[in-house]
Each structure stands twice: as C-alpha cells, then as structure tokens.
Amino acid sequence: MMVALKQARRTEQHTPATARSGPSSRRAGPERFSPRELGGLGFLLPFLAAYALFMLYPVFQAAVMSFFDWDFLDITRREWIGLSNYRRMFWGTEMTWTAGRMLPLRLIGLALLIPVVLAWRRGAVSRVAAISLGVGIVVLFGAVLGIHPGEGGRWYDSQFWLSFGNTLLFVVMSTPLIVGVGLALALAVNRPSRITGLLRAMFFAPYVLSVAVLTLIWAFMLNPSLGLVGVVGDWFGAQPINVLNSTTWAMPAIVVATMWWTVGFNLVLFLAGLQDIDRQQYEAASIDGAGPWQTFRHITIPGLRPTIRLVVVLQVIYSFQIFGQVFIMTRGGPDGATRVLIQHVFERGFRDFQLGYASAMSIFLFFVIIVVSVIQFLFLRGGEDEA
C-alpha cells in the first residue's frame, strides 16, 4: 500500500501535465476556476462523503477515543482519562529493569545495528535515517525490553502482551514462508508452456475462499480422528495428535493453513514481476554462456527486486492483521497460545464494551504497522538502487 502511495504520487505529478494539455484549463491563473471546472467537484462528492464519514472520521475518532474511558453501555462513563489506556497496555505494578531479561531476543535485536550500519556505509539509507533507526534499536532492545514487573508486581494487562507476542510470532513465521513459497511457485510456474495459466489458477484458487471456508476445511483436515492429515500421518506411522489443541503446534498449523489460503496472491504478483523483466536480458545472458544459476542470480533477482519489496511489505501488513483464522479455529487457545492482538481488541471492545481501551490498542497496532512498513521501505529501497 505504501507502494500504491508512491505510485499515486507519480500519477499525481502526471496529471497536471495532462490537464494542461487538456481542454479544461485555459491557464487562467493558478487559483481561478471557471464554473464548469467547479462543477467537476460534483464527480468527487459521492466518494468524498463516504470517505469522510466511513474512513477519515473513524480514524480520528479512534485516536480520540483512545484517551477516553468509553463504556459502550453506560453513557455516563465517558470521560477523558489522558494516557491511562496506554498506561494500562504498557505498564504494570512494581516495575523494574533487568539487564538479562529476554536476553537472546534483545541481543538479536541489537545485532540489527549491523545491517543498519552496513546499509548506511553503502549509502543505501541516509545518515539521518540510519542514526534514528540505530537510536531506536538501542532504546528498544537495549533498554525498553528490559522493563518488566518486579517481585510481587504484574502487568496491568498481561493478555495484551501475550496477544501482541503471538501476533509478532505469526508475522515472523508467516512472512518468510508465504513470500518464499510464493516466489518459488512463481519461478516454477513461469515457463514457456501452455499449462502455466492453469497452474497459476490452481495455486491461486484457495485465495477466493472466505476465511470461514478456510477454517472449515482445515479444522477438519487437522482433526486427529476425521482429517486427511491424520490419514497421511498414519502411512508414516505417526501418532495422530490434536494439532490445534497443542500449544506447540497450533500456531504453525495456522501458519500453514494461511499459506495454503493466501500464497496465490503473492504468486500472482511475482508472476507479473517476472513477466516484466526484459527478455533481451535473458537472451544476452545465454549468448554470454551464463548458466541457469548465474542467470537467476544476476538477472531474475535484480529484476524482481521491486516486486519482492512490494510483496514483503504487503505480507507483513496482512500478517499483522491476522484474526479470523485464529478466532474461528482455536478461539485463541489452547492456553492463549494463538491469541492475537485483534482478538484482544475485539473482545475488550465488544465483549467487555471497553471501547476506549480497545481503540488505544488498535491505534497501537496501526502505529506498529506504519513503523515497520517505513523501516522496510528504507531498507529494501537500498537494494533497488544497487540493481
């Protein structure tokens, strides 16, 4: 979607040029419009009305509500409480700081400094971006993640951390898998053969199913006594286990089901990207005697870079929004092992009617998505310049 924004900006730069050559503008000065031109606004009004009412207003309202105690049922309980909702999300009692808390994760996080420095040295990201990212990494992984409730203390809402952690886990597991499999399938399917269209259609088909059909199929597929997965496992002598009831396997199972469902989307984007690569480059490479691997490494991958960037960013955004699969298949169980952030938002908002608190969490998710997308853009853009 960021790409869309970027492309839109490009289109916008386009439009004044076409408008100038078009009949409507007689170059009457920058700020004067004929009645006929003012009438052009009429074309826009229906959409603008819907957009303002169902999009702009709700986003601002969500931000405002996040500072309120906003009970849906009790109208008297709607008061400004400042940052209390955010405090409830992020804070707890008896908070302390420990250097060793979540050490492996924090060390991995701090190691992210290396690619940042490398990208800066290569000139792929600007100095300001590199420094702010570096500071961000040090503050987040070096300091902030060391904060936790001390002895006798607890998080105000430990479920929030659980759900957010699971959402991150889903993002980390699903993104490489769904992007990687999509790319592999696209490379395999993209061959000079009449059957390409059929293969593409077959791999894409699950994408048009609704989430309720996906869960219907996969909950039964994975059912230890009824499902086909059990039957196949039986051939290999595996004991049937109730995958969706296992704290270890429930999340991987949901990731696999999600991959089956949505990988066709990435496949389509990758195929379009592959077909955009100039054929002459391949011909030149084969004349130069390049092998398949060299061709792949030096022509396919660089040519595909914009598509890879697009797919990764979109995939991360979609993965952060995971909800339906989990909510229908496991209700967030077993033991909260698959509980994700949107489920938490949904339940706080529409089961407990704490709309203010739920809004604060949705705003937080929005913020995370934006930050992650911007960072991805900074980094993946660097690769493109190199190509």
Partner 1 sequence: MSAPTTQDQPATQDRAMTDDQPVTRSRRARFVRKHLPTALLLVLAIIWLIPLWWMFSLSLTPNEILQRDTSNLLPPEVTFENFLSVFQVGLSGRWFLNSLIVASSTTLLTLTVSSMAGYAFARLRFPGKKILFPVVIAGLMVPQEVMFIPLFLIFETLGLHNTHPGLFLPRVGVPLGVFIMTTFFAAIPGEIEEAAQIDGASRWRIFRQIMLPMAMPAMTALAIFTFVLTWNDYLWPLVSATEREMFTITTGLASLQGNFAQATELGALMARGVLASLPLLLLFMIFQRQLIRGISLGSGGK
User: Between residue 110 and residue 169, which ones bind partner 1 under the rule CB under 8 A?
Assistant: none
What is the pattern of x (binds partner 1, CB under 8 A) and - over residues 299-338? Answer: --------x--x---x--x--xx-xx---xx-x-------
Q: How far is the CB of 327 from partner 1 (least distance, A)?
A: 8
Distance CA 45, CA 334 (A): 49
Distance CA 319, CA 321 (A): 5
* Residues comprising the chain, all counted: 387
Q: Which of residues 167-226 bind partner 1 (CB under 8 A)?
A: 188-193, 195, 197-206, 208-213, 215-221, 223, 226
Looking at the Cβ atoms of 3 and 113, the one nearer to partner 1 is: 3
C-alpha distance from residue 364 to each of 13, 123, 182, 288 (Å): 33, 32, 30, 53
Looking at the Cβ atoms of 119 and 178, the one nearer to partner 1 is: 178
The DSSP secondary structure of 285-332, one letter per residue, reads HHHTT--HHHHIIIIIHHHHHHHHHHHHHHHHHHHHT--HHHHHHTTT
Looking at the Cβ atoms of 15 and 98, the one nearer to partner 1 is: 15
Q: How far is the CB of 191 from partner 1 (least distance, A)?
A: 7
Half-sphere exposure of 276 (CA within 13 A, CB side): 13
Distance CA 188, CA 176 (A): 18
* By CB under 8 A, residue 355 contacts partner 1: yes
Q: Which of residues 264-293 bind partner 1 (CB under 8 A)?
A: 265, 268-269, 272-274, 276, 279, 282-283, 285-286, 292
What is the pattern of x (binds partner 1, CB under 8 A) and - over residues 358-377? Answer: xx--xx-xx--xx--x----
Cβ-Cβ contacts under 8 Å for 282 (sequence gap 6 or more): 295, 299
Looking at the Cβ atoms of 56 and 118, the one nearer to partner 1 is: 56
Looking at the Cβ atoms of 120 and 265, the one nearer to partner 1 is: 265
- Looking at residue 80, what DSSP letter applies? E
Q: Which has the closest alpha carbon to 159: 342, 374, 383? A: 342
From the list 105-113, 123-131, 134-142, 354-362, the region that binds partner 1 by CB under 8 A is 354-362
Q: How far is the CB of 102 from partner 1 (least distance, A)?
A: 27
Q: Which has the closest alpha carbon to 264: 317, 206, 311, 323? A: 206
Q: Which of residues 63-82 bind partner 1 (CB under 8 A)?
A: 65
Binding-residue total with partner 1 (CB under 8 A): 122
